[in-house]
Amino acid sequence: MKWTLSQLQKHRSKEFPIDEMVNLDEIKKIDQTIRSVSPMHITGRADIDSSKVSFHLKIRGHLVLPCSRTLVDVNYPIDVETTETFLLKGLDYETDEEVHQVKGDVIDLKPVLQEILLLEVPIQVFCDEGSSEEGAPQSGKDWEVIHEQKKDKIDPRLAGLAKLFDQNDPSSNS
């Protein structure tokens, strides 16, 4: 996903659609928790004028990450919409969105897409309960993983208050 500025300027007043499959396997070297990256489907359009190029992109695909509990592979879906703006000239551009300076005569979206994917990686991801048998062991010598059911316990100091709600209100009996 690289374009020279002259290629983009040819489409200045026309629509510039984007629909590509991009391989972003390089992010596995940056974040070793990512086990696999599917080819990402990038769709959208570019708005080109004399001072900037704005890419309106939708990124779809999935990452394979380890389950935080069992280390089993988990398919984590990616579905992100973003707008990335590249300034063609060294102008001061006031906006709330992040802008990128073009270095040289080429706009390369791959590093930007990699950054977006790295930001999408969650701190924890959990697998379905049924696939946990093939992951980390659930028991060993003198230990086992237990699943507790949370019970609503009433503080004994406040148990007397619960009895007040159980009593019928004498004023309501007519």
Per-residue pLDDT tens listing for the chain (174 residues): 788 877 787 777 777 888 999 998 899 899 888 999 999 999 999 888 877 888 899 999 999 999 888 888 889 999 999 988 888 776 655 655 677 777 778 888 898 899 999 999 888 888 876 555 566 666 778 887 777 777 777 777 877 777 777 665 555 554
The pLDDT assigned to 13 comes to 74
Is this prediction's pTM over 0.75?
no
CA distance linking residue 23 with residue 21, whole number of Å:
7
The pLDDT assigned to 42 comes to 93
The pLDDT assigned to 43 comes to 93
The pLDDT assigned to 14 comes to 79
Strands 40-48 and 52-66: antiparallel
Question: Which residues contact residue 133 at a Cβ distance below 8 angstroms, ignoring those fewer than 6 apart?
Answer: none
The 3-state secondary structure of the chain reads CEEEHHHHHCCCCCCEEEEEEECCCCHHHHCCCCCEECCEEEEEEEEECCCEEEEEEEEEEEEEEECCCCCCEEEEEEEEEEEEEEECCCCCCCCCCCEEECCCCEEECHHHHHHHHHHHCCCCCCCCHHHHHHCCCCEECCEECCCCCCCCCCCHHHHHHHHHHHCCCHHHCC
Domain ranges of the chain: 2-130
